[in-house]
Structure 1
Amino acid sequence: ALFSACFGFSLLLAIISPPLWANIFHELHILWRKRSAPLRDITMEMLLISIFLATILAVPFVLRTFFPYVWMDVLYFGDLVRILVRFVERRRRRPLFFVLDRFLEQTAAHPDKNFIVFENERHTFSEADRRSNQIANALQSHPGYEAGDTVALFTGNEPAFMFTWLALAKLGSPVALLNHNIRTKSLLHCFNCSKATVLIASSELKEAVEDVLPSLTEQGVIVLLMTKHCDKPGIEGFSDKVEEASDAPLPRSLRSNITPKSPAVYIYTSGTTGLPKAAVINQNRLLTALVVLSSNGVTSKDVIFVNLPLYHTAGFVIGFIGSIETGSTIILKRKFSASQFWDDCRKYNVTVVQYIGEVMRYLCSTPKRDNDKDHKVRLAIGNGIRAEIWREFVSRFGNIQIREFYASTEGNVGFINYAGKVGAIGRVNFLHRKLFPYILVKYDTERDEPIRDADGLCVEVPKGETGLLVSKITDIAPFVGYAQNEEQTERKRLRNVLKKGDLYFNTGDLMRIDDENFIYFQDRVGDTFRWKGENVATTEVSDILTISECLKEANIYGVQVPGHEGRIGMAAVTVKREAQFDGKKIYNHVVNYLPSYARPRFIRLQNAVEVTGTFKQMKVKLVEESFDPGRIQDPLYILDDKEKSYVPLTAQVYSSIMSGNIKL
C-alpha cells in the first residue's frame, strides 16, 4: 500500500517534472531486478495497481490543469440531454401537452402556494387558475368572439396580464403581446400584424386605445377595457363581466385543434428595419422555453423577481413561463426601480433576479449602502452585462452567480455562459454545434452584407476574429418568421452559406470566439440601435420624423454616451423648403408618436442628407462625429423635457454630458 501511494505520488510529479519521473522509474526497475521471481511477480502486480491508482488520481489534476472547464462541460451536456429527454417525453403525451398543462399540474400539486405577489396582493396557484377561468368564461360568452380567435393584450406588468394569458391559453387563442409604450401608428400596426379580432387593454391605457379606436371600429374589433364601466362608445367595460362569470374549469375540447406548430404568442421586435415585427412563437417553441429557469438550477423553493416588461421575451418567457415549470413564486413589479430594487429583494426574500445590461449598471450607479450584501439573492440571469459592470456588481453586492446568455425572440440559436467566464455570453462545444449548427462568417460592415468567395459562398472567420453569427435552419432549430411580413422574414434567411442550397438564420449579431471556446458579443449590424434595453429601428423613427410639419428627411443613428449602456438616438435632418425648425413642435411630435427610448435625444440640421451610390443613407461619419459641437459646424439641438422642446446644444451642455453631470 505504501509502495502504491508513493508510486501514485511520483506519477503526479511526473506530470510537472518528467526527469524526476524518469529517475524514480529507473530506481524501481533496479529494485525489481534484485528481487526473487515470486517477489518480482508481487512487485509487478503492485506496479500495475499503482499505475491504475495513480492514473485515477492524476486524471482530475490533468483535467483541472489543462482542461479547466471540462467538468462544467460534462454537467452542461447532462443538462442538454435531460432537457431533450423531457421535451421528447412531453411531445409524446396524448392528449398533447403544452405550457398550460404544466401550469395545471403545478396547481394540482401546490394549490395554496403563492404564485404571484404584486404590491399588497398575493395570488396562489389555485387563485390564478380560478381567476383565469372567470376571464375565459366571460370572454367566451361575449358575442362575436369564438374560442381560438387571436386576441391582443395591451397592458403593463400586473397580475391581470398573467391571468388573461392563462385564460386565452385555455380558450386556445393566440395572444399578441403589445408594448404598452407604443401609440397611434405603431400601436395600430402591431395590432394588425397579428390579425387579432379582440383587444383587451388595462384601464390606464384608455387614451391610447381611443387614439386608434376609429380604425379598430372600422375593422369590427371587439375592444374590452379592464374596468367595470366605460362611457366611450366602441369600448366595453370588461371587469364587471369577469366578476360575474363562473370560475368553473373550461373543457379541453376548446383547444383540441391546437398543434405544436400553432401560434401561441406574438412578441414584437424592432429588428433592423421598419416598424416592429411580430415574431411568431408557436406552441412547440414555448414548450421548450419552459426549461430556461430549471436548467439554470432554479427550483420551486426559489422566489423570482420579475421587473422587466412582460411583453418582452425576457419577462414573459423567462420570468413568467420559466416559473410555471419550476413552480417558483413570482414577485411582480410594475417597472424596474434601481432605488427600490434591493429593498424589494429583502422584503420578499428574493433568491433569483433577471437583468439586462442596463439594469446592472443602474444598480451599480446607486449610492453605496452598508447593507448592500444583506439579501438572499443567489442567481442573476439575463444578458447584456459588460465585463467591468459584472465585476463591480459581484464585488459590491456579494457572491451572486451571474448566468449570462444569448438568444433572440425569433432566433434559432442560443448560448449560455454556464462556466461563469466574465464578459462572455456563452461557451461553444461540439454537442451544441451538432444540435444547432452555426458558424461565424466574414461581414462587410460598409456594404452591410456577408463577404463571399469566388464560388458565392460565405467565408468562415478564424477563431479569435469577429464574424456574423448565422445558424442553420433545421427541424430541431426552425425559424418561423414574422406574422404578415414575408419580406422581413426572407431578409433574415441567408442562403448558400457553406454550400449551394443551404439555409441559415441571420442573427444580425457580430461575435468572436476565443481560444478557450468562449463566445463574446461584439456589435449589432443593420439599421438599429439599443437604448434603455430596447431595440430601436432607425427607419421607424425616420418615418415618424418625416411626417412632421417642418422636416423633409431624417437620417437616424445611435451614438455612444460615456457612462451609458447601448447607443442613444440621434437624427441628422433637413428642413422643408420655406419652413423653419421648430423645437417645440418637433418635441410634441416625437412625444406623441414615439416611446421615450426611441425619441432622438440629439438633432443635427443639415442642408442635405448624404447618401451612397445606391441611395443608402450614410451613417458611419455621422456616428463618428456624434454630438460634439466642437467637431460639427451644423446646428445641434438636444431634447429638453423640462422645456418641452429641442433646445440648442451648447459646448457647456456637451461638457456636462461627457463628465456625467447630466444623465440621459
Structure 2
Amino acid sequence: MSTSFSIGQRAALVAVASLSGYALFRRKYPNLTTDVRYFLSLAKGGKLLEKYNKANLFILDFFEEHARKQPNHPCILFENETYTYGEVAANVNRTARWVLGSDPSLMKGDAVCVLLHNGPTIVWTWLGLQKKGIISSMINFNLKGQALLHCIKASYSKHIIFGSEFLDSILDIVDALRDLNIGLWMVNDACIPDLVTPEDVVTMEISTMSGEHLPTVPITSPEDVATFIFTSGTTGMPKPVNIPHYKITGACVFSYIHVGLTPSDVYYVALPMYHSSALLIAVTGSLFSGATIAIAKKFSASRFWDDVRRFRVSVFQYIGEVCRYLLAQPRKENDGQYPRPVKAVGNGLRPDVWREFKERFKIAPILEFYASTEGNFSFFNSDDHVGSVGRYSWILRKMLDRVEIVDCDYETGKPKRNSNGMCVRLPPGSSGLMLFQITEKSAFVGYHGSEEMTNKKIVRDVKRQGDAYFNTGDLIKIDVDNYVYFIDRLGDTFRWKGENISTMEVSQVLGLFPVVLEANVYGVPVKGHDGRAGMASIVLHKGANLDFSALYQHITTSLPDYARPKFLRLLDEMDLTSTFKHKKTELMKRGFAPDGYGEVYIIDPSKKTYVPINPYHVKVLTAGHSKL
C-alpha cells in the first residue's frame, strides 16, 4: 500500500521537519545568534586591522584625518575647558616641534618618560612624541623615590617630561637622573607662578611653537613600538610592556566594533591615563572614531555622575573597585537620570556588584572584557551576561583554537605535565590556568629590555611539542555553556589544609554582607600548619557597625571551613594601587599580630563569632599550638 502526498502536504511536512530541526539545533546551541554575531564582528575587526596595517595607517593618521574633516568638533572636555580637534592637532604639532628643537639628537625609537596627570596635556604630549617616532614611557604619577627611579631607568629614556606638580618628586632623585644624563623637561600644567627650578630643569613652552601641520616620521612596520605601559607591580617591580602600533590600532578597532563609538559619543575617562584601559581603550578608541573625550583629573565617586550629566557622557570606563565605590555613595533622586543612554566599558566588575550597579544607575549595557597590557588575546562580554568576561564558543574554538585551560601547581604557578610532558588540559567547568597560543597573528611582544622576564611568561609544549603559549597568570573557568569567568590571579590564590583558596571567591562572599564596603583577602603563615590561613582586611560602609556573630553566620553558611577567613583586620580605608587593585604584600607581612594598624579579630567557632585577638591568642599561634 502506498501513500501519496500533494505538493502542499509535502511542503508542509518539509516546513514542520525544518522547524523541528531548527528547534532541536537551537536547544543544543541556545546562544547561536550571539556567537555568530560575535564571530562576525571579530572577523570584521580582523579585516579592518589587516587593512590598516598593510596601508601603514595608525592612530595619528586617524586622529589627523578627523582634525581635517571636523576641526571644530570637540575633542577634549576638561573641567571648564573645551579643545577642538583642530586645537588638539595644533598642540600635537607644537609639542613635536618643541621636543625636536630642544634635542635634535633624538631619533626614532628613542624613549622619553611622561609623568603627567590626566588632562589635555598628556594627550597631545603622547601624540606629539609619536609624531617624531619617539616612544612614550607612561609613568605612574603616584610613584616616588626608588620606585620612580626604577621605572625611568627601565625605560632607557633620554628625557622625562613631567608636570610641575611632580617637581618635588623629581628633585628627590635629581642626582641620580643627572648621573644617568636624563634631560628634565617640565610642563607648568598647574600654572604655579614664580616657580623656582634648578638650572637643568627646562620648562616646555610649546605655545611659542607653530601649530602648522608637521609631517609624521614614517612608521616602518606595525611592529614598531609606540609606547611603554608598565605592569601594575603587584608582583615585583613594575615592568615596561612593549606596545607596538598594531596593538593600539587593534584597541581602536575593538572600541569601534564592540563599543560602537561614533563622533557623537562622549567618552568619560576618570582612570589614570598611564594605564592601558584608559589610554588604549578609551582615549585612542575615541580619537580613532572622532568622538569626544571627557577627562577627569582623577576619579571621584562623589563627582562621577555629576560629570556624566554635565558632559553629556554616553560611555564611561571602569576598572576594579570603581563600581563598588560608586554604589557606596548615598542614594540621590537623580541616580540613573542622564541626558542620554550610558554604556559602561571595563573589567573587574564582580558579580556581587553587577546587578545592583546596573539597576540603580540604569546602565545599558555593561560591556565587560578580559585583557591584559601584555596579553595577546582577549574576551568581550557582548550580551551583558552577569559576571562573565565573554564567551569561548564552539565557533571560536573551531576557527581560532587559541585558548587552553590547564591544571597547575598553585604554589609555583607552573602548569602540571602528563606522562608525555604536555600540559594537563581541564574539561569545561573546571577552574585552571588560562593560556593563549602565540602565533604570527597573535604575537606576544613582551617587556622592554628584559628577555628573561619575557621568556618567563611563555609556556612551551602545551598541546604538542614546540608550541608556545602566553601565560596569563590568571585562574579562569569556562563553563559548559561556554561563558568565561575570571576566578582569581594565580599569585593571589593560596592553599590551606590541602585546598586551594580563591581570594576572589571569599571577597565576593564578604562583599555580600550588608555593611561591608570592600574586602581584601589573602593568606598568612601560621606556625604548625602547612599553607596559609585566610585573612581578610575589611572596610565598612561609613557609619556602619559590624555584627561579628551575624558575619560568622554569613560566612559559615556560604563557605566551607577551609575557605573561611580565620582572621579579620578592620580598616578605615583600603590601601590600593593607582588602578584600584588591592595591595596585599604589606598586609601579608603584617600577619595576624595586632600592631595598631586597624583592629584584628580571630575566628572563635565555640562562640560562633569573631573575637578581638589578644596576647594569649598570639602566644598560642606563634608557638604552633593553634587548632585553626
Tell whether 2:351 aligns with 1:351.
no
The answer to whether the 8 A contact 2:601-2:612 is kept is: no
Q: Aligned partners of 1:462 and 1:78: how far apart in 2?
A: 27
- Distance in 1 (CA, whole Å) between partners of 2:523 and 2:429 is 32
List runs of 5+ in structure 1 lacking aligned partners. 1-29, 34-39, 530-557, 574-593, 606-621, 628-634, 641-647, 659-664
Structure 2 counterpart of 1:493: 458
One-letter amino acid matched to 2:262: T
Q: CA deviation at 1:166?
A: 1.1
For residue 282 of structure 2, what is the aligned residue in structure 1? 319
- Structure 2 matches for 1:445-594, cutoff 5 A? 445-526=410-491, 563=516, 567=520
**What's the Cα RMSD here?**
3.2
State the distance in 2 between where 1:397 and 1:657 align.
Answer: 38
Structure 1 residue aligned with 2:213, among 241, 249, 254? 249
- Which residue, out of 192, 202, 227, partners 1:265? 227
Is 1:97 aligned to 2:57, yes or no? yes
* Residue matched to 2:90: 130
Say which SS state the counterpart of residue 192 (structure 1) adopts.
Answer: helix
Please give the alpha-carbon distance, in whole angstroms, between the structure 2 residues aligned to 1:329 and 1:571: 47
- Alpha-carbon distance in 1 for matches of 2:612, 2:519: 15
Q: Which residue number in structure 1 is paired with residue 554 of structure 2?
A: none
Deviations 1:440-486 (A, max 9, x none): 00012134321111222110011111110011111111111111122
Q: Given the alignment, which residue of 58, 75, 79 partners 1:115?
A: 75
Matches within 5 A, 1:25-64: 44-54=6-16
Shift of 1:138: 1.2
**What is residue 155 of structure 1 aligned with on the other side?**
116
Q: Does structure 2 retain, via aligned residues, the 8 Å contact 1:426–1:519?
A: yes
Of 132, 135, 141 in structure 2, the residue corresponding to residue 171 of structure 1 is 132
1:636–1:649 contact (8 Å) kept in structure 2: yes
- Give matches, 1:313-462, under 5 Å: 313-375=276-338, 376-433=340-397, 434-435=399-400, 437-462=402-427
Verify the 8 A CA contact 1:140 1:147 in the aligned structure 2. no
Cα distance change, pair 304–63 in 1 and its aligned pair in 2 (3 A) = farther
Change (3 A) 1:346 1:271: same
Change (3 A) 1:363 1:656: farther
Shift of 1:144: 5.3
**Displacement of 1:559:** 9.8
Structure with greater proportional helix content: 1
User: Counterpart of 1:366 in structure 2: which amino acid?
Assistant: Q
Q: Counterpart of 1:161 in structure 2: which amino acid?
A: I
Cα pair distance change 1:657/1:193, threshold 3 Å = farther
How many Å apart are 1:378 and its aligned residue? 2.9
* Secondary structure, counterpart of 1:409 in structure 2: coil
* 1:207 matched to 2:155: no
Deviation of residue 234 (structure 1)? Answer: 4.7
Contact persistence 1:280–1:480 (CA under 8 A): yes
Partner of 2:595, secondary structure, is strand
Please report how far the alpha carbon of residue 602 of structure 1 lies from its aligned counterpart in structure 2 after TM superposition: 4.3
Structure 2 distance, partners of 1:599, 1:243, is 45
Q: Which residue among 219, 243, 248 is the counterpart of 1:286?
A: 248
User: CA, structure 1 residues 247+380, in 2 after alignment: closer, same or farther (shift >3 Å)?
Assistant: same
1:519 shift after superposition: 1.1
Separation in 2, partners of 1:295, 1:454? 44
**Structure exhibiting the larger radius of gyration computed from Cα positions:** 1
Cα distance in 2 for partners of 1:571, 1:150 equals 41
Q: How does 1:608-647 map to 2 (within 5 A)?
A: 627=592, 635-639=593-597
Residues of 1 paired with 2:201 and 2:223: CA distance?
33
Hey, what's the Cα distance between the residues in 1 that align with 2:588 and 2:491?
A: 21
Give the drift of 1:174: 0.8
Q: Partner of 1:567: helix, strand, or coil?
A: strand
Q: Which deviations, in whole Å up to 9, do the C-alpha atoms of 1:14-35 show, x marking residues without a partner? A: xxxxxxxxxxxxxxxx9x96xx
Aligned partners of 1:101 and 1:423: how far apart in 2? 37
Further displaced range: 362-371 or 428-437? 428-437
1:60 Cα deviation from its structure 2 partner = 6.4
- TM-score when normalising by structure 2: 0.79
- Tell me how far 1:413 sits from its aligned partner: 1.6
Q: Give the superposition deviation at 1:141.
A: 0.8
- After superposition, the Cα gap between the structure-2 partners of 1:651 and 1:520, relative to the gap in structure 1 and judged at 3 Å, is closer
Distance in 2 (CA, whole Å) between partners of 1:117 and 1:188 is 32
Q: Which runs of 5+ in 2 are unaligned?
A: 495-504, 527-576, 604-608, 614-628
Deviation larger for 47-56 or 219-228: 47-56
2:454 aligned partner, one-letter code: T
TM-score (norm 1): 0.74
Post-superposition offset of 1:565: 5.1
CA distance in 2, matches of 1:466, 1:270: 24
Contact 1:353–1:377 (CA<8 Å) still a contact in 2? no
CA change 1:564–1:525 in 2 (3 A) is farther
The answer for the alignment partner of 1:221 in structure 2 is 182
Aligned partners of 2:407 and 2:433 also within 8 Å: yes
CA contact (8 A) 2:520 2:584 kept: no
